[in-house]
Structures are given as structure tokens and as C-alpha cells.
């Protein structure tokens, strides 16, 4: 059963001079697949377009990318996740991008572990990572392939924690694999993505559909001040956080409704 398509072909290998491998010159997105459908495709398509624009890639053929994804999903029996990776392909050695890059499209399949899915109801604990994310307004928000801060941070997270909080300077930027939200004075506060971080698809959905979700800057004082906390990513949607070090949080009564609304709108195109 095909688990990977490279440029639409049933392959698992890539040219060793691909710029994604040499320089991290590319970006990716991870999509939840349920009942044979890619959830929230429009949010992913929008992020693919924005990422390509921000990294000065040529305009991508989104229909072709969607066709790759559907081709791979059609070969699967279960629910799971698709990772789409787009790189600037191979070319002459050196950082300077080729004028007309031959883009690589890699679509790969993975299953999702069911024990983690129950966390969506019961809540999770988070750690605080010493490793900071990198400050770079030019890359802020893009899910680009340079993930070394997250690689180092993930090594600091103990097994009993679902994720770890990362900072940029004095400000919280998110989890190592999630966006984060703290509920305070009637608002869900989530970090601004103007200097670092990944502008996640679930975060975009929350900011565009919920009036009480606000992007702003805040530091670690929020751990003490907040009433509730949650994290999000496309695999799990919104996940309540019940513990961060010595801080404990109840599960917000809003989360079940948000999770339901998010699921109900997953297949709107
Ligand atoms: C660093 C980071 N932030 C945020 C997210 C959430 O993004 P999305 O909601 O698109 O899954 C991810 C997802 O993997 C991530 O790796």
C-alpha cells in the first residue's frame, strides 16, 4: 500500500541535492484525515499559498497538490494523517535559489495513536522548555522546514507531558508542536506570530470564527493569571491543558463546544 508519493509518483526517494534536505528550503503542513477526507482543506490550502509567497516560491498548483493528497488517501483503509512537504527542489549548489525552481511535492501517510486522542477529553500536562524559538520576522508564522529549535525542545519534554512551552525572549510563542491559548478576563489569548512561531491552521480557524480569541503578546506571568489553558494542532484540534509545572487548570466548559464546531466545519469547501 502506497505510503508516500513524490511528485505524484509512488516513490520513497528524493534527489540528495534537494534544497529541502540541504538548506531546509521548503515548508510543510500536516492534515487530519477522517472517513477518507482531508479535514479543513481550505485552511491548509491557504497556508500553502501564504508559505509559498513568504518564501518567494513560484505560485503552486493547489489542484495538483490536492489530487496527490486524494490519491494517497484513496489507498488507505483507516483514519490517519497526511504530511505534505513542499521544497524548492534540486539545482545548482549554493544558497541562492534558482530562478525557475523545479518544486518537489512529497505527500506521506501516517497513522494516529489512539491513546493520545483521548487527551482531547481528559486534558494534558505541559512542560516549560529551556530552548527558545528563533526570532525572525521574515519567517514568522510559516511552517518552514527549519525546525531545530523544536527538535531540541522536544528532547526536554518528559514523557508525561504532551508538549512544552517555548519562549522567544520574554514572550511565550507556543508549544513545540502546538499553538497555545490562555483564558483570562473573558478572552482566549494566543501569542502574536510577528516574530516567530507557526501560524497553525486551528489557530487561524479560532481567530477567524471566535470573537473571544485574541492574538497578543504575553510572558510567563500568564501561567499564574489564567483561568484555563488549551493547545491546538490539526491532528487533535483543541486539547485542554490541566497542568503546567505547579499551575493547575480546570477544563474550560467552552472547549467541548469549540471542538464540536471545529469538527462540524471540517469538510466545508
Ligand atoms: C511549532 C508548531 N506550532 C503550531 C502548530 C499547529 O499548527 P496546525 O494547527 O496547523 O497543526 C504546529 C503543528 O505541528 C507546530 O509544529
Q: pLDDT tens digit string along 169-190?
A: 999 999 999 999 999 999 999 9
Residue 89 has pLDDT above 80, yes or no: yes
Interval between CA 141 and ligand 1 midpoint (Å): 10
Name the residue of 179, 232, 239 whose CB sits within 8 Å of the most ligand 1 atoms, as the mutation to test its pocket: 179
Q: Is the CB of 195 under 6 A from ligand 1?
A: no
Q: What angle do CA 90, 92, 98 make, to 5 degrees?
A: 75
Residue 116 has pLDDT above 90, yes or no: no
Residues 6+ apart with CB under 8 A from 129: 153, 156, 157, 164, 165, 166, 167, 176
Interval between CA 196 and ligand 1 midpoint (Å): 12
Q: Is the CB of 233 under 6 A from ligand 1?
A: yes
Residue 50 has pLDDT above 90, yes or no: yes
Contact, 42 vs 204, CB < 8 A?
Answer: no
Residues 6+ apart with CB under 8 A from 198: 141, 142, 143, 174, 179
pTM of the entire predicted model: 0.96
pLDDT of residue 199: 97
Interval between CA 74 and ligand 1 midpoint (Å): 25
Of 115-119, 140-144, 178-182, 239-243, which gets the smallest average pLDDT? 115-119
- Domains belonging to the chain, first-starting first, are 4-112 (3.30.470.10), 117-261 (3.20.10.10)
pLDDT, tens digit, 9 for 90 and up, residues 144-163: 999 999 999 999 999 999 99
Q: Is the CB of 145 under 6 A from ligand 1?
A: no
41: phi then psi, degrees, rounded to nearest 5? -55, -40
Q: Is the CB of 179 under 6 A from ligand 1?
A: yes
Amino acid at each position: 500500500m502506497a505510503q508516500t508519493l513524490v511528485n505524484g509518483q509512488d516513490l520513497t526517494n528524493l534527489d540528495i541535492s534537494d534544497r529541502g534536505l540541504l538548506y531546509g528550503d521548503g515548508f510543510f503542513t500536516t492534515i487530519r484525515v477522517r472517513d477518507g477526507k482531508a479535514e479543513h482543506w481550505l485552511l491548509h490550502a491557504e497556508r500553502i499559498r501564504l508559505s509559498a509567497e513568504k518564501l518567494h516560491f513560484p505560485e503552486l498548483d493547489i489542484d495538483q497538490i490536492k489530487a496527490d493528497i486524494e490519491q494517497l488517501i484513496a489507498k488507505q483503509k483507516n483514519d490517519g494523517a497526511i504530511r505534505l512537504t513542499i521544497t524548492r527542489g534540486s539545482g545548482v549548489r549554493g544558497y541562492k535559489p534558482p530562478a525557475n525552481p523545479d518544486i518537489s511535492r512529497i505527500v506521506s501517510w501516517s497513522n494516529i495513536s489512539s491513546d493520545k486522542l483521548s487527551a482531547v477529553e481528559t486534558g494534558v500536562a505541559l512542560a516549560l522548555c529551556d530552548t527558545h524559538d528563533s526570532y525572525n520576522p521574515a519567517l514568522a508564522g510559516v511552517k518552514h522546514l527549519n525546525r531545530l529549535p523544536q527538535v531540541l525542545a522536544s528532547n526536554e519534554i518528559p514523557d508525561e507531558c504532551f508538549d512544552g512551552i517555548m519562549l522567544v525572549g520574554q514572550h511565550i510563542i507556543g508549544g513545540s508542536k502546538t499553538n497555545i491559548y490562555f483564558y483570562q478576563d473573558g478572552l482566549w489569548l494566543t501569542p502574536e506570530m510577528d516574530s516567530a512561531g507557526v501560524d497553525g491552521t486551528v489557530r487561524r480557524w479560532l481567530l477567524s470564527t471566535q470573537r473571544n480569541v485574541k492574538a497578543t503578546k504575553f510572558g510567563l506571568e500568564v501561567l499564574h493569571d489564567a483561568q484555563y489553558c488549551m493547545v491546538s494542532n490539526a491532528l487533535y484540534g483543541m486539547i485542554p491543558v490541566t497542568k503546567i509545572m505547579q499551575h493547575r487548570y480546570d477544563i474550560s466548559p467552552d472547549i467541548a463546544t469549540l471542538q464540536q464546531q471545529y469538527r462540524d466545519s471540517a469538510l466545508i469547501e
